[in-house]
Amino acid sequence: MNVRPKIMFSLDYEKGWGIHQFAKINKEKYDFFLKNEPRVLEATLNLFEKYNIRATWAVVGGMLCDSWEEFDSYGVPSPDYDNKKLGLDQNIKNSKHLCEYFFDKESVQKILDIDGQDIGGHSFSHSYFKESGVKFSDFYKDTEALTRVFHNKFKHKIQTYVFPRNQIISPEVLIDFGIKVYRGNSTKWYDRINSNSMDFLNLLSRFYRFYSALSPFAISERISSNFFVPAGIFLRFGLPTTLWESHFFKIKRCISGTKDEQLLHLWWHPHNLCIDYQIKLLRLEKILQFITKKRDKGLLEIVNMNDI
């Protein structure tokens, strides 16, 4: 008996943890990128309920804390990056007006309340584990704190994991903490080069990733593994109309080309939809409509990371 193609959704839910390197203590930047995120979150969950979508939400564990004091009590200092700009600026912790962009366990509860939604981990502190200066112990302590905070707040056991920036390090550690599946970059060379540097090779890899997002001839990786699922297609909702149509065509072609026993992974961040959110939510719904029509005809399955 053939196993139908699987389309997997995951969302990296990170709020200010994912933008603090450049936003620093500038509240206007946080407002610009994140002020509409509660509205986007609610609308996305409504769409998922409407179309019966199963998805994994990879949540930064630090979001579940109520304050910086509680966050610090978990004993996970920022790694000693060679690039000091990547670390968590102490001034952010001293800026009370930014707390709303770092702590929000209530929104995570809303996700847990919706059928078919899997809550996974996106590290405890959104550290970049492949950057120079990061030690194995940083990853281990971070993962331990991640599993502990979810148990403390929700009695929830994390079983799925998404590496920040898809930078994979020592995935066997995840098994030790009961995590059964993780997402990282694909095996393509330009996805393996994924750092915060701006050297020529990294810039070239970014160009190839952008080309791959638009070109119908660039093949997105499909897999049948039960432990590692590569990030197949990053959904670029913010493209200009013409480029979006090329991207949407590429998405449809990849979905239709996924064969029995293969899995195609679609992912994004909720904050990717925050600017001009009405247009971007319509684009998300077009993708969901295309996929669910195929599902309803029995041509594919829609899964979250915990389903495989």
Share of the chain above pLDDT 70, in %: 86
CB neighbour burial string for 250-287, b if at least 16 within 10 angstroms, e if fewer: bbbebbeebeeebbbbbbbbbbbbbbebeebbebbeeb
pLDDT over 50 (residue 190):
no
pLDDT over 90 (residue 245):
yes
Crossing angle of helices 105-112 and 136-154, rounded to 10°: 70
User: Residue 52 has what pLDDT?
Assistant: 98
**Domain spans in the chain, listed from the N-terminal domain onward:** 6-307
Other C-beta atoms closer than 10 Å to the C-beta of 29 total 16
Chain segment 248-297, per-residue pLDDT in tens? 999 999 999 999 989 999 999 999 999 999 999 999 999 999 999 999 99
pLDDT over 80 (residue 161):
yes
pLDDT over 60 (residue 140):
yes
Rounded to two decimals, the pTM is 0.90
User: Residue 189 has what pLDDT?
Assistant: 44
pLDDT over 80 (residue 239):
yes
Mean local confidence (pLDDT), 190-208: 54
Instruction: Supply the mean pLDDT for the chain.
Output: 90
Mean local confidence (pLDDT), 157-175: 94
Mean local confidence (pLDDT), 140-167: 97
Cβ within 8 Å of residue 7, ≥6 positions away: 255, 258, 263, 264, 266, 291, 295, 300, 301, 302, 303
Backbone φ and ψ for 12, nearest 5 degrees, come out as -90, 105
The least confident of 183-192, 234-243, 299-308 is 183-192
Q: Which CATH class is domain 6-307?
A: alpha beta
The least confident of 110-119, 144-153, 210-219, 250-259 is 210-219
With bands split at pLDDT 50, 70 and 90, how would you rate the model's confidence at 206? low
